[in-house]
Amino acid sequence: METMRLGTSNLQVPKVAVGMMRINKLSAKEAEHFVQNALDIGANFFDHADVYGGDGACEKIFAEAVHMDAAVRDKVLLQSKVGIRRDIAFDFSKRHILDAVDDILSRLKTDYLDVLLLHRPDALVEPEDVAEAFDTLEAQGKVRHFGVSNQKPMQIKLLQKYVKQPIVANQLQLSIMHAGMISNGLHVNMQDENSIDRDGSILDFCRLEEITIQPWSPFQHGFFAGVFLDNEKFPVLNKKIDEIAGNHGVSNTTIAIAWLLRHPAKMQPVTGTMNVTRLSDSVKATGILLTREEWYEIYLAAGNILP
């Protein structure tokens, strides 16, 4: 698997990350098989969150599946997220961040996280509090790199005013069928639906700040409305993807990920599949470079329009 630098850090990561949100849907044997297969193909960057599975169940299952110990820890890169509280909403307070990280480390059976993300924005965030939490976690060696998810430029700038550590990643929903942050950049100075900037030009901002965008739900349309690949609701898109996949001798899954990797923002897609074949096909995308024509053909086949 090809690697890339995460943000401005010195951390080299695989170009495709493995999302662990659904590992609790597998049996213990299936989970072990999936994780081992991921490692075998070089997909050793695992994305977690303390709410996945409820009460960190997915982190516990992963630790068991990978047979976590010191030797295994040296072979994997672990990212997790904090900030969502099921009993209330969001909580970026220092106390919650510190306690949540301790719980994550316990469930993952490790002493540190390679990357910690703040999970969605907290309306009551006090950036000074976050800064103190990050400083404590860094000083204690519990977290090596920091980032955010689903945040727009001004929210990140507010954090950057107080936080000493670089924001290395921003996890955002992005796929062929959820490409608003791309579309509004094409419809500049227009008055149509696609010209509406709902994200504060987050795509360009992350490129300027060298923050790695981690697209989540790369196969979904809508908000967890289902996979668009092989979906009869999208015949034109699937026909085009299948055509291009055939030309490259790969699967439609590979092309869906290759479409994201073709963007010059140097993104790191986060897969959500627990299917060994689909994960393998996703990884193969790192060896595919779509032409400009192929990229735009897929974009248009998804129902997007040009100004």
pLDDT tens digits along 12-45: 999 999 999 999 999 999 999 999 999 999 999 9
Say what the pLDDT of residue 88 is: 87
Residue 246 lies in a domain: yes
Residue 207 lies in a domain: yes
Say what the pLDDT of residue 223 is: 79
The length of the chain, given as a count of residues: 307
Residue 81 lies in a domain: yes
Residue 211 is given by DSSP the state P
Residue 62 lies in a domain: yes
Say what the pLDDT of residue 1 is: 85
- Whole-angstrom CA distances from 287 to 15, 174, 224, 258 are 10, 20, 28, 8
Say what the pLDDT of residue 28 is: 98
Cβ atoms within 10 Å of 168's Cβ, excluding its own: 24
Residue 307 lies in a domain: no
Residue 241 lies in a domain: yes
Show the low-confidence residues of the chain (pLDDT under 50): none
Residue 247 lies in a domain: yes
Say what the pLDDT of residue 31 is: 98
pLDDT digits (tens, 9 = 90+) for 53-82: 988 999 999 999 999 999 999 999 999 999
Structural domains in the chain (count)? 1
Alpha helices in the chain (DSSP H): 28-40, 57-66, 70-73, 94-108, 127-139, 153-162, 180-186, 202-209, 235-248, 252-261, 276-284, 292-301
Residue 306 lies in a domain: no
Say what the pLDDT of residue 294 is: 98
Q: Which two tokens stand for residue 215?
A: 């697209």
Whole-structure pTM value: 0.96
CATH number of 283's domain: 3.20.20.100
- Whole-angstrom CA distances from 169 to 114, 118, 192, 267, 270 are 12, 10, 31, 9, 12
Tell me the β-bridge partners of 22: none
Residue 38: which domain range? 3-301
